[in-house]
C-alpha cells in the first residue's frame, strides 16, 4: 500500500469514528454499549496486530516504533481495564465521575491520534523525500 494511501485510510477511519461518536448521542443506551464494546474489541485487536507486526519486524524496524507499539498496547490495556472496572460500578454517585474520567481518556486518545497523524505525515514525507534523493543519486551514476 502506498504511503499516501495509508494516510487516506487513516483520515477515513478518523472520519468514521467521528461520525459514529456523533450518532451515539441519539442512540439507545444498549446500542451505544454494543458499539463501545465493538470499538474496544477493535482497538484491542489493532493493538495486538501492531505488537505482532512490531515483534515480527523487530530486526528491521527502529526501536522507537517498537517501543511506541508496545506502549500503545499497554495504554489500551490500562484504559480498557479501567473502563471495565468503572462499568462494574453501579453507584449513582460515581456515575458522573466515571463519565468524566472516560471523557478524559477519550480526549487523551484523540490527542495521541492527532500526534500520530502528524508523525505519520512527517514520516511519509521523509520517506518520499528519501526516495526522490535515491532516484536522483541513481540517475547521476
- pLDDT tens digits, residue range 25-79? 787 878 878 877 787 788 788 878 777 777 766 556 566 677 777 888 888 888 8
Residue 17: all three cell numbers together: 469514528
Q: Up-side HSE of residue 128: CA atoms within 13 Å toward CB?
A: 10
pLDDT at residue number 80: 87
| Residue 14, CA atoms < 13 Å, CB-side half-sphere | 15
Residue 137 pLDDT: 93
Q: What is the pLDDT of residue 90?
A: 62
- For 9-17, which contacts have Cβ atoms below 8 Å and span 24 or more sequence positions? 10/117, 10/120, 11/117, 14/113, 14/117
Percent of the chain with pLDDT over 70: 87
For residue 73, with 0-12 CB atoms within 10 Å meaning exposed, 13-18 middle and 19 or more buried, which class applies? buried
pTM of the predicted structure, to 2 decimals: 0.53
Q: What is the pLDDT of residue 134?
A: 93
Amino acid at each position: 500500500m502506498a504511503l499516501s494511501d495509508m494516510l487516506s485510510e487513516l483520515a477515513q477511519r478518523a472520519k468514521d469514528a467521528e461520525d459514529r461518536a456523533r450518532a451515539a448521542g441519539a442512540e439507545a443506551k444498549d446500542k451505544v454499549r454494543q458499539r463501545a464494546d465493538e470499538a474496544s474489541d477493535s482497538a484491542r485487536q489493532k493493538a495486538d496486530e501492531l505488537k505482532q507486526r512490531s515483534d515480527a519486524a523487530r530486526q528491521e524496524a527502529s526501536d522507537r516504533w517498537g517501543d511506541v507499539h508496545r506502549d500503545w498496547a499497554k495504554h489500551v490495556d490500562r484504559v480498557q481495564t479501567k473502563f471495565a472496572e468503572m462499568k462494574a460500578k453501579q453507584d449513582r454517585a460515581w456515575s458522573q465521575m466515571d463519565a468524566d474520567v472516560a471523557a478524559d481518556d477519550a480526549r487523551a486518545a484523540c490527542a495521541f491520534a492527532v500526534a500520530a497523524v502528524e508523525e505519520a505525515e512527517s514520516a511519509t514525507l521523509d520517506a518520499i523525500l528519501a526516495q526522490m534523493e535515491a532516484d536522483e543519486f541513481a540517475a547521476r551514476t
